Amino acid sequence: MKGNFFLSLVTLFLALLAYTERQSAAPPASEAVQEESGEPLFSLQPEEIDAIKVLDAHGCVFVRKKGTNPQPAEELIAGIVQARVVRRFSPVSADFSAYGLAQPVRRVEVVWANGAQNRSVVMGNLNPVGNAVYARAQDEAEVLLIGSYFLASLDMALQGLRAESGVMLDLKCPEEAEDKTRKTS
């Protein structure tokens, strides 16, 4: 009987301790300055896209838009156009390794029609909740949060593209092919 009473007191003490720790934990400084956003990651329409280059752990996929594309290429284009920035914030320091951006997991580059403009975005880790991925656009100091659904659609489209063999798909990026020919010459 005394053992049950003592065990109840210990349990109550631990629950109270956990509650006070949860109440006193302050959010990280970078999280406090977040701003809501809903802007597109790439502000363009599908017909404005000339090429998409994606580098990930499996290599590089380069898709040039010409006439009719295979279904996975159309899914990739649709995913790029629909990608939205959930939040953007200024990091506490210039050290992007906390977000997985020092050694990014993926790099997506979109070239507008006629090569008039391009935008490159690197993607790092998932946020602690797991519903968004940290990203950073070229020449921007802010860190972006993009919904993790974008990663899922991107990965599915890339998997479909890698499974298909077609003229529209080049598994080597143009720069990599040029570098190899320069090294062998």
pLDDT at 72 over 70: yes
Residue in this structure with the two tokens 């940290």, named with its chain if needed: 134
Spatial CB neighbours of 176, under 8 Å, sequence gap ≥ 6: 60
What is the average pLDDT value for the chain, to the nearest integer? 76
CB 135 within 8 A of CB 87: no
Domains in the chain: how many in total?
A: 1
Q: Residue 2: inside a domain, yes or no? A: no
pLDDT at 169 over 60: no
pLDDT at 13 over 60: yes
CB 61 within 8 A of CB 53: yes
pLDDT at 47 over 80: yes
Q: Residue 21: inside a domain, yes or no? A: no
CB 33 within 8 A of CB 89: yes
pLDDT at 30 over 80: no
> Domain containing 111 — which CATH number?
2.60.40
Q: Residue 55: inside a domain, yes or no? A: yes
Q: Residue 6: inside a domain, yes or no? A: no
Banded pLDDT at 68 (limits 50, 70, 90): low
Spatial CB neighbours of 173, under 8 Å, sequence gap ≥ 6: 53, 55, 60, 62
Q: How confident is the model at residue 17, as a pLDDT? A: 61
Banded pLDDT at 63 (limits 50, 70, 90): confident
Q: How confident is the model at residue 137, as a pLDDT? A: 92
Q: Residue 113: inside a domain, yes or no? A: yes
Backbone angles phi, psi at 83, to 5 degrees: -60, 130
Q: Between these two residues, 174 and 12, which has the higher pLDDT value?
A: 12
Q: How confident is the model at residue 176, as a pLDDT? A: 43
DSSP-derived letter for residue 84 is B
Q: Residue 59: inside a domain, yes or no? A: yes
pLDDT in tens, 98-109: 899 988 999 999
Structure tokens at 156: 């599915």
Could you list the residue range(s) of the whole structural domain that residue 52 is in?
30-184
Q: Residue 22: inside a domain, yes or no? A: no
Q: Residue 17: inside a domain, yes or no? A: no
Backbone angles phi, psi at 74, to 5 degrees: -65, -35
Q: How confident is the model at residue 133, as a pLDDT? A: 93
